[in-house]
Amino acid sequence: MTPTQPAHPYFFGYGSLVNRDTHIYSPAQTATAQGWRRIWRHTTAHDFAILTAVPSPGTAIDGLIAPVPNADWAALDAREIAYDRLIATPDITHSQPQPFDIAIYSIPEAKHPVAPTPTPILLSYLDVVVQGYLREFGPAGAHRFFDTTDGWSAPILNDRPAPLYPRAQRLTPDETAFVDTRLAQLNAQILAT
């Protein structure tokens, strides 16, 4: 380690980790991953769709980076247990002056058995993600989230009244309206719990 290199590696969050209310990692800052795109994965290992990032030349996604103190990945790896942690340092654009390693969590296509039919996307999970993008990148960034994510043909399970997502957050009326408007524009199928 050189004297200018931080002691801690970083992660790049592109889903719920963009919402600072879902984790304790700081200081977090906005960043961009070049050559990545998000998709909703449907596996037999989970009852609900999981948001993941996959390599995608020519595409870039916004997100947050934050340090993992003393490279203690245990808590974050437990949170992201369905994912592989990959080094993506060359792909991440950020404003930090020092060099450091940056990991991204991704679910390779063959990691889990594919569900026979698409599993629903939890609305409480989507709400958390979009809230994070609205706060960090504004409406334009939240629109980019939808535009750089594939798999919107999956049904959306409206669990807002009793959230199933463990890190669910309360949205403002404007944030809720943004999510609902985008889902309507996508002609999303909304399922009641």
Residue 51 lies in a domain: yes
- CATH, residue 103: 3.10.490.10
Helix (H, G, I), strand (E, B) or coil at 46: coil
The model carries a pTM of: 0.93
- Residue 5, in any domain of the structure: no
How many folded domains does the chain comprise? 1
Structure tokens at 173: 């009326």
Say what the pLDDT of residue 5 is. Answer: 52
Does residue 113 belong to any structural domain of this protein? yes
- The answer to the question of residue 4 being in a domain is no
Q: What is the pLDDT of residues 21-66, one digit of tens each?
A: 999 999 999 999 999 999 999 999 899 999 999 999 999 999 999 9
Count Cβ atoms within 10 A of the Cβ of residue 155 and give its class: 0-12 exposed, 13-18 middle, 19 or more buried: middle
Whether residue 74 lies inside any domain: the answer is yes
Question: Is 124 within a domain?
Answer: yes
72 in a structural domain: yes
Q: Is 2 part of any domain?
A: no
Q: Give me the pLDDT at residue 99, please.
A: 74
What is the domain range of residue 128? 10-192
Q: Which residues contact 18 (CB under 8 A, 6 or more apart)?
A: 62, 63, 64, 129, 132, 133, 136
